Amino acid sequence: MTQSPIRILIVDDHPMVADGIEAILEGYDDIQVVGVLGNGQDAIDQFETLDPDVILLDLNMPGVGGLTATEIILERRPDTRILILSMHDTPEYISSALSHGARGYVLKDVPTEEIKTAIDAVMRGERYLCTGARGSLTPEETGDREPLTSREQTVLLQLAQGKSNKEVAAELDISVRTVETHRKNIKRKLGISSTAGLTRYALEHGVLQGTGHGL
């Protein structure tokens, strides 16, 4: 019996990039591109109808970004395979993508055949990091991350608003030492080393607008 082709949805706000990836993948007999979308909101709205096996998702897009789209899509269909395609090779981007449930992370400058390798890997249930992405992470960071607790999410919101540990402690009626512990745990779980990194993470995930989903 002939095996059904792997159904791929491409989501990238740069038409030249998206069209290039589509052209590459259409050259494989075992792949069918079921859609090419330009933003995260369209991916959220249409992925169930398009029913892809794998979503190739850009991180930085206008409106709903890749990480928020990943969260919402996985809330609706937890077994969805999401493969991040990005130009960013910093640990914060990569570890955030993995902690949000992405099955793999591939830099856009990889050889074209590596995209196919990544697709095949996530279809087998494996996690795939391209060489450049693996090199940016410590061995510990390539593993599954613990989710933030609801209290840690609350502390992250406060810190991202520029509040000091003392101000957060007063706001939440907890000790400064407890805030420091939460702050340390948040940084460890997210793989972020600086307060600026926490703020950027919060901005990218809609935390400051109150639209974060299951951080």
Contact assessment for residue 74 and residue 101, using Cβ atoms and an 8 Å cutoff: yes
Q: Tell me whether residue 159 is exposed, middle or buried, using C-beta atoms within 10 angstroms of its C-beta: 0 to 12, 13 to 18, 19 or more.
A: buried
DSSP states of 91-126: HHHHHHHHHTT-SEEEETTS-HHHHHHHHHHHHTT-
HSE of 35 in the Cβ direction (CA atoms, 13 Å)? 20
Q: How far apart are CA 25 and CA 17, in angstroms?
A: 12
pLDDT (0 to 100) of residue 116: 94
Q: How far apart are CA 89 and CA 141, in angstroms?
A: 14
pLDDT (0 to 100) of residue 140: 46
pLDDT (0 to 100) of residue 21: 92
Q: What are phi and psi of 137, to 5 degrees?
A: -115, 150
pLDDT averaged per 10 residues in sequence order, the chain, 215 residues: 86 92 93 95 96 94 89 89 90 83 90 92 90 62 62 86 91 91 85 77 65 42
Q: How far apart are CA 202 and CA 204, in angstroms?
A: 6
- The residue length of the chain stands at 215
pLDDT (0 to 100) of residue 123: 94
Q: How far apart are CA 60 and CA 31, in angstroms?
A: 25
| Residue whose tokens read 């330009």 | 38
- pTM for the full predicted model: 0.64
- For each of the domains in the chain, give its residue range(s) and CATH number, in order of start: 6-137 (3.40.50.2300), 150-205 (1.10.10.10)
CA 63 to chain centre: 15
